[in-house]
Amino acid sequence: MKKIYLAVVVFIIISCGSSNSIKTDKAKVGRIMNFLASDELQGRDSGSEGIEKAAEFIEKVFESNRIKPFFQSYRDTLSNSQKIAYNIVGFIEGRDEQLKNEFIVIGAHYDHIGIRSAVNGDTIANGANDNAAGTTAVLELARYFGKARSNKRSLVFALFSAEEKGLLGSKHLAKKLKEQNFNLYTMLNFEMLGVPLVGKDYLTYATGYERSNLAEVCNGYAKEKLVGFLPTAKEFNLFMRSDNFPFHTEFEVPSQTFSTFDFTNFDQYHKVGDEVSLMDFGHMASLVNKFIPVIEGIANTSRQEIKYK
Ligand SMILES: [Zn+2]
């Protein structure tokens, strides 16, 4: 009896340890952020040589975590962009025979605004907060689920191009998936998470907060107030201003964006000063880790619980 008890305890410790070790941390976040927001990538303007390096980097992350291409390859070529631009789309099939036919899209745009006029000799808009931060969050979630394989529903990881040209990448992908009768449950998008909110009793806000019970569902799985309501997000209609919106339009299922940019905690939005040195990697890592049980919960519960009101 004692031996069995001991074996069970040892097993639990080992399995907890292995799932903890694939969570993210400051160093892992920093490594990705430092690359995506480096001068070498020239501000990741869609169609540029710089963004091509980001695309190749994302493909390598997918490949090394055995995340399959959702289409023939990871690249989904935009049909609505003059310059050649690609979304990068990976996929982890759910492990439940029934639920794997339902899909959750986890997205972020990886493009930015490229080269701008010089401020103190700097012309590169590195887009660390907008949106190397969201891209990093999605890549670290992808790495986690690639290793853990804990999802019953299928997960699609989509990194969008040409968001800055008018949500072109997400418009293209949402339309294409709709035409293919893609069975979307919910679309969760990540934008500008590099700097923490100040003086709030929640850690991130959801755009379109009042439209659904998403925040309530997230907070239930997080066991804390992870997601809250930011009045200025509603005032400026951020719900319509990021890559969740085309999915909302095409599918009419809960499609919302998480962000920690509140117009007061970061004054370098769309400026050349949106640099990696201003980012808080500890905050980002903590947030990503808090979203792991949330996404696991949403992916694994038997019934689709996120609903528009
Ligand atoms: Zn953005």
Query: What CATH number is associated with residue 254?
Result: 3.40.630.10
Between the CA of 130 and the centroid of ligand 1 the distance, in Å, is 5
3-state secondary structure of 77: strand
pLDDT at 3: 59
How many whole angstroms from 134 Cα to the centroid of ligand 1? 8
Instruction: Quote the ligand 1 centre to 285 CA distance (angstroms).
Output: 19
Burial class (CB in 10 A: 0-12, 13-18, 19+), 302: exposed
β-pair type (255-259, 184-191): parallel
Distance of CA 164 from the midpoint of ligand 1 (Å):
7
Distance from the alpha carbon of residue 108 to the mean position of ligand 1, in angstroms: 8
Tell how far the Cα of 229 is from the centroid of ligand 1, in angstroms. Answer: 19
For residue 288, the CA-to-ligand 1 centroid distance in Å is 18
Q: Exposed, middle or buried by CB within 10 Å (0-12, 13-18, 19+), for 32?
A: buried
**What is the predicted pLDDT for the residue at 126?**
98
Segments of the chain scoring below 70 in pLDDT: 1-19
Tell whether omega for the bond before 131 is within 30 degrees of 0, i.e. cis.
Answer: yes
CA-CA-CA-CA dihedral for 258, 238, 157, 249, to nearest 10: 130
| Residue whose entry in the numeric block shows the structure tokens 């493909």 | 59
pLDDT value for 5: 61
Region of residue 166 (left: phi > 0; alpha: psi -120 to 50; beta: else): left
Q: Count how many domains the chain has.
A: 1
306 within a domain of the structure (yes/no) = no
**Would residue 263 count as lying in a domain?**
yes
Domain that holds residue 31: 2-300
CB atoms within 10 A of CB 232: 11
The answer to whether residue 93 is domain-embedded is yes
Confirm whether 29 is domain-assigned: yes
The answer to whether residue 229 sits within a structural domain is: yes
- 97 occurs within a structural domain: yes
Say how many Å lie between the CA of residue 64 and the centre of ligand 1: 26
On whether residue 159 sits in a domain, the answer given is yes
Decide if 64 is inside a domain. Answer: yes
Q: Give residue 131 CA to ligand 1 midpoint distance, Å.
A: 5
